[in-house]
Amino acid sequence: MLILFIVVVFAVIAVARQQKQTEAPTSASAPVLPVKEEKPKIEKFLGAIENVNEMTGTIDVKGKVKKEEKRVTFLTDDNMRITRAGNEMSLAELKKGMAVSVEYKKDGDKVVAVAVKVSAPKAGPKKEQPNTYEDQPVSR
């Protein structure tokens, strides 16, 4: 009877081990791949400032897209950088008519400005300097 008991115990242990081995692959699910967070695509818009609203934190810029006039309202946040010739500026310093390049990202149906670069004003036509040498008498 003792021998029969030992055989049954070994049989139960063998069945339990085999059951664990067959369950292991089915219980383990497929490896979970990390979900890549897509960085929002940064785009550019060139134009001139139409309006700056510090209360709502928006900038309206008018420019051309594929030969068509377009006005875009950009939302701003605390992370947005405004620069002119490499120097930092504040939202309050932006004025109507300034030429700007706005780097922005789309957040659903919103357009959020990431960086605003103010262009230096274009130089006007050069004034002709009078030739002072022609009017001077020649000394010998």
Nearest to 114 by CA among 44, 35, 36: 44
How far is residue 92's CA from residue 53's CA, in Å, rounded to a whole number?
A: 9
Q: pLDDT value at position 138?
A: 61
pLDDT tens track, the chain, 140 positions = 788 888 888 888 887 777 666 655 544 555 666 666 667 788 999 999 999 999 999 999 999 888 899 999 999 988 899 999 889 999 999 999 999 999 999 888 899 999 999 987 665 556 665 555 555 566 65
How far is residue 90's CA from residue 107's CA, in Å, rounded to a whole number?
A: 23
Whether pTM exceeds 0.85: no
